[in-house]
Amino acid sequence: MNKANLQPLKGFRDFYPDQMRFRNFLFGKMRQVSQLFGYEEYEGPTLEPIDIYTAKTDEELVKNQTFTLKDKNDNLLAMRPELTPTLARMVAAKQNELNFPLRWFSIGPRWRYEQPQKGRFREFWQWDLDLIGENSLKADAEVINIAAELLKSLGLTSSQVVIKINNRRLLETELEKVGLKKEQITLVYKIIDKKEKMKADEWEKYLKENIDQESAEKIKAILRKKDFGDFSELSKLFALLKKTEVADYVEFDPTIVRGLDYYTGTVFEARDVDGEFRTIIGGGRYDNLVSLFGGQKIFSVGFAAGDAVLEEVLRKFNLLPNLKENKKILVTVFDESLAEKSAELSQQLRKARLANEIYFTPEKLDKQIKYADKKGIRYVVILGPDEVKKNEVTIKDLSTGRQSTIALDKINKFFRL
Amino acid sequence: MNKANLQPLKGFRDFYPDQMRFRNFLFGKMRQVSQLFGYEEYEGPTLEPIDIYTAKTDEELVKNQTFTLKDKNDNLLAMRPELTPTLARMVAAKQNELNFPLRWFSIGPRWRYEQPQKGRFREFWQWDLDLIGENSLKADAEVINIAAELLKSLGLTSSQVVIKINNRRLLETELEKVGLKKEQITLVYKIIDKKEKMKADEWEKYLKENIDQESAEKIKAILRKKDFGDFSELSKLFALLKKTEVADYVEFDPTIVRGLDYYTGTVFEARDVDGEFRTIIGGGRYDNLVSLFGGQKIFSVGFAAGDAVLEEVLRKFNLLPNLKENKKILVTVFDESLAEKSAELSQQLRKARLANEIYFTPEKLDKQIKYADKKGIRYVVILGPDEVKKNEVTIKDLSTGRQSTIALDKINKFFRL
């Protein structure tokens, strides 16, 4: 095997313990916020038949950006680029047994075969949260509230990030007034969704290649609007959001449309205020997706957030937590004759639910302490001949350099404090 | 989309919240045991170039049981059937920076394209735990100790499960005495590994198709041995294990060899004593794997355990935990005029870190209580006109049927107790 093989595939990541600590921290926050609002965790398969995505996911995503493979019967399968179609399938499969509304969330891997760049990988983890079976705008407000609470819990303020909200029905009404037909409207959604991702003049060209000059100007005017007028779905939604703890995180933005085909009403995106990154959290209402799998119409609203963009946003605002500190204990080994005593102590600590690792080879204490220091282990426990004779133990706190010798049977209590 | 599409792919699973609770419980136990012994979590990519497996994983596994796909440059990629080659690659890539020994664990998905059956899926989750950079048998003893602690923490006793231990060097020595050559020995490892998976007469036939009659009889005699004689690696290992809290979970078994090609010394498998299931936990020492990726020889020992077999074993022994009980609170809505009061209360509870969900539509209280009951929600909070007038709240405990009315500002305290 050659040296090139030492790196993960392009767009894939190795998570060494340092990186994994951040990932677990982030997923922990997602879980915590979800559960506070009463959401339950679920998970689906990572492989699905490709046709569950062709139904309503973005065409470009399915055709060009999906990792696909064939099973032994020549059926085309996809490594899931997103979770929502799986969720819709799962809900449709048990719609007569489930107790609606469902408040569900999931955290797992997704794959998209696109060009890797900062905050964008081919393999990434996504937090999906959905409220299924509730038509009221209270549901839309709740999921947006949760999205904002996650940002807040990570230390992001409303002067750093904002959740931009729009409604596809409002946009549709306005595009109908321009005189666009159904198919044109779907196309214009795609074009609008690309606006933030392209340079201004490129986007302008793209728009005019697809839409006549007069309509294009009218569309641009719609996208410049500062308020939603008397559109009641949005006025009700903002009234509900105003009563939450995250009222300052939300604003109306007529350019938000979302790329996926299945959205039907409210759509929203969390972005950094400088617009440096792609969407941090994106979601909306998709009332017709579950019924595509057979059965009744089931009102649904939800969002997804990727791990990599969130990490970059936290880095930008200097909010990455310091996760170096490790509460672990190193039990040193004085010499071969005392190795068993150290092993017993390590076992005693574990029985008291105190995480610790034991040093295997009796080497100079300095070397063992240096090892602990490099690993970010705070406490080093020493059991030398003096300590053993007096039934004591010496504990060195590497964060302060302080050292104290205590009775062996007080050690659990020492670490409990 | 037709009805057939409502089910996940063959061998794949949907985890509804009920199933997910068990999965989180199981992964929680794995994390807890790993961390108590000082192990740190890591994770690798789910896709790797196929050649990292062809090097040393079992040939049948790679050729016939791996989900493969081609990237846009026609390179063959594999959805990882196991994690150890990825671990070896990651260690090789940073061998000059890492502080050995590494105590690492990981929990994530693996894929094997085999026939699904009880406890065996095409997509499953695996707990991998490895100790890298330590040659002492203390390392072998530690990982076996951890494997046994997991079984114990799940409630499995040593009369239900056993960890069978052998050593490839012992087996090799004995097979050399039979007169077998190097390539034959590798073949015999495969044959021995199949013993538990085949019927006795089929296996006997399989053995004799590959090995002459006389050698076959000698091999069978080796596999019947009750002890390891004066083989010091095993006597030292058992001496170390005897001093742990799990001494009664381990025994010598000459038939244990493990299917993967990379093992070099100690090999072990946890099994149910009735032999009903395939391996519950399997592992061993693999000192040459990291060096295949370039660089130095790095002593390594570890194991893996799949989620599905563990679940079946727990089911068999009636040890599946009752995870129905939910500590969540339902905040009911008395009528539209009081909806905002309920929303405020829900928010107040969340601020006190009390997980709760709110009922959206003001419907008959009975209906709301029934909903809570079906979802396994224990507490229902009622805020009617009387309560609001007196600044009180009524709490109904569905587990006892008891109902009490308390001052609104005492509610956090009520749930804290």
Contact yes or no for B12 and A99 at CB 8 A: no
Poorest-pLDDT segment among A325-339, A368-382, B117-131, B396-410: A325-339
CA A56 to CA A300: how far, in whole Å?
14
Q: Is the pLDDT of residue A1 over 60?
A: no
Percent residues over pLDDT 90 in chain A: 84
Q: Is B223 on the interface with A (CB under 8 A)?
A: no
Whether B351 and chain A come into contact, CB under 8 Å, resolves to: yes
Within 105-134 of B, beta carbons closer than 8 Å to A belong to: 109, 111, 113, 123, 134
Q: What is the pLDDT of residue A273?
A: 95
Are β-strands B40-41 and A403-407 bridged in parallel, bridged antiparallel, or unpaired?
A: unpaired
Q: Is A67 on the interface with B (CB under 8 A)?
A: yes
Structural domains in chain B plus CATH codes? 7-316 (3.30.930.10), 326-416 (3.40.50.800)
In a structure prediction context, what are the per-residue pLDDT tens digits for chain B, which is 417 residues long? 555 579 999 999 999 999 999 999 999 999 999 999 999 999 999 999 998 888 666 677 777 899 999 999 999 999 999 999 999 999 999 999 999 999 999 999 999 999 999 989 999 999 999 999 999 999 999 999 999 999 999 999 999 999 999 999 999 999 999 999 988 998 999 899 898 888 999 999 999 999 999 999 999 999 999 899 999 999 999 999 999 999 999 999 999 999 877 899 999 999 999 989 989 999 999 998 888 888 789 999 999 999 999 999 999 999 999 887 566 899 999 999 999 999 999 999 999 999 999 999 999 999 999 999 999 899 999 999 999 999 999 999 999 999 999 999 999 999 886
Which residues in chain B are contacts of A52 at CB distance < 8 A?
1, 5
pLDDT tens, position by position, A384-399: 999 999 999 999 999 9
The pLDDT tens digits for A63-117 are 789 999 999 999 999 999 999 999 999 999 999 999 999 999 999 999 999 999 9
What is the C-alpha separation between B163 and B270, in angstroms, rounded?
4
User: Which segments within A298-402 are labelled E, that is strand?
Assistant: 300-306, 326-331, 356-358, 377-382, 392-397
Q: Is any Cβ of chain A less than 8 angstroms from the Cβ of B251?
A: no
Closest by CA to A362, choosing from A339, A385, A396, is A339
**pLDDT reported for residue A64:** 84
Q: Are B168 and B187 in contact (CB under 8 A)?
A: no
Under 8 Å between Cβ of A281 and A308 = no
> Which pLDDT tens digit goes with each residue over A264-289?
999 999 999 998 998 999 999 999 88
ipTM rounded to 2 decimals: 0.94
End-to-end Cα distance, chain B: 50
Cα distance between residue A299 and residue A304, in whole Å: 17
| Beta-carbon separation of B123 and A13 below 8 A | no
Q: Please check whether residue B106 is in contact with residue B43, taking contact to mean a CB–CB distance below 8 angstroms.
A: yes
Distances (CA, A) of B259 to A31, B58, B88, B125, B206: 38, 6, 18, 19, 16
Residue with tokens 């392009």: A10
**If you average pLDDT over residues A200-223, what whole number do you get?**
93
pLDDT grade, residue A3 (50/70/90)? low
Chains A, B: CB contacts within 8 A come to 200
Q: Partners of B380 in the beta sheet?
A: B330, B396
Which tokens belong to B349? 């509870």
Contact in structure between A331 and A357 (CB atoms under 8 Å) = yes
Q: How far is A382 from chain B (nearest CA, A)?
A: 17
CA distance A121 to chain B (A): 11
How confident is the model at residue A262, as a pLDDT? 86
Q: Please tell me whether residue A128 adopts helix, strand or coil conformation.
A: strand
Contact A153, A29 (CB under 8 A): yes
Query: The pTM is what?
Result: 0.94
**Is A389's Cβ below 8 Å from some Cβ in B?**
no
pLDDT band at A5 (very low <50, low <70, confident <90, very high): confident
- Residue B167: other Cβ atoms inside 10 A: 26
Q: What pLDDT does residue A4 have?
A: 54
Question: How does B19-50 read in b/e, with b if 16+ C-beta sit within 10 Å?
Answer: ebbbbbebeebbbebbbbbbbbbbbbbbbbbb
CB contact under 8 A, B45 and A12: yes
Instruction: Out of A45, A90, A92, name the one closest to residue B123 (CB).
Output: A45
What's the pLDDT at A400? 93
Which pLDDT value is given to residue A2? 53
Backbone CA torsion sign across A187, A188, A193, A198:
positive
Here the tokens at position A102 are: 């469902």
